[in-house]
Amino acid sequence: MRTREIISPGNTAVKEAVRLRRKRNRYERRRFLTEGEDLLAAALAGGYIPRQVFVLEGNVSTTMETIGDASDGMDVLEPDVEVCICSQPVMEKLSELGSGSRVIAVFDFIDRQLAAETEGPLIYLAGVGDPGNAGTIIRSASALGGCGVAFSPDAVDPYSFKCQRA
């Protein structure tokens, strides 16, 4: 794990992360953003390894505790993971919530193969365009023992901020 301090919202790393708000940029770079401790923990629990973690100054120990808890104590912050300790203006620039989150992370996409035989129903979201509806279907599938959800090309982007929050 490498650390550095970022105080300017005009920093190159900040600009690159902000570009990931757009679907086209996410898919070109094959990366996405998460915002907040809960989404960071969910991504870690899903097997994602952060590429970059932006942390509000003064919240580093809380964020490291969240990462440790979500990864069952495994060291997921590999040597090439960059932890950026950021000023409030930087976090406000990165945040889609508007309130300025304490942690925002960049993750690489993970390509997963669908198993030929599954242990439960696989849900295919064909044309589901509303992030809230996608979130409801995902939660329902999980509660009913579903083993996964696949998105059609014309469905909502599962990496979009609204879909993650849903």
Q: Residue 60 sits in a domain of what CATH number?
A: 3.30.1330.30
In a domain, 116, yes or no: no
Q: Which two tokens stand for residue 58?
A: 């003064």
Residues 77, 7 share a domain: yes
Q: Which two tokens stand for residue 116?
A: 């030929």
* 3-state SS, residue 152: coil
pLDDT computed for residue 141 by the predictor: 85
Q: Are 61 and 126 in contact (CB under 8 A)?
A: no
29/6 same-domain check: yes
Q: Lay out the sheet containing 2-6: strands in order across.
A: 2-6, 82-86, 50-56, 103-108, 31-35
Together in a domain, 39 and 13: yes
* Domain that residue 137 falls in: 122-165
Q: Does residue 117 lie within any of the structural domains?
A: no
Domain count, the chain: 2
Instruction: Please answer whether residues 102 and 55 qualify as being in contact, where contact means their C-beta atoms are separated by less than 8 angstroms.
Output: yes
Spatial separation of the C-alpha atoms in residues 44 and 32, rounded to whole Å: 13
What confidence tens digit (pLDDT) does each residue in 16-64 have? 999 999 999 999 999 999 999 889 888 888 888 899 999 999 988 888 8
Whether residue 65 is found in the same domain as residue 136: no
Q: Residue 143 falls within a domain, yes or no?
A: yes
Domain boundary among 108, 131, 146: 108
Residue 73 above 60 pLDDT?
A: no
Percent of the chain at pLDDT exceeding 90? 48
Query: Where do we find the tokens 């979201």?
Result: 125
Report pLDDT digits (tens) over 101-153: 899 999 999 877 766 666 777 888 999 999 999 999 988 888 888 778 889 99
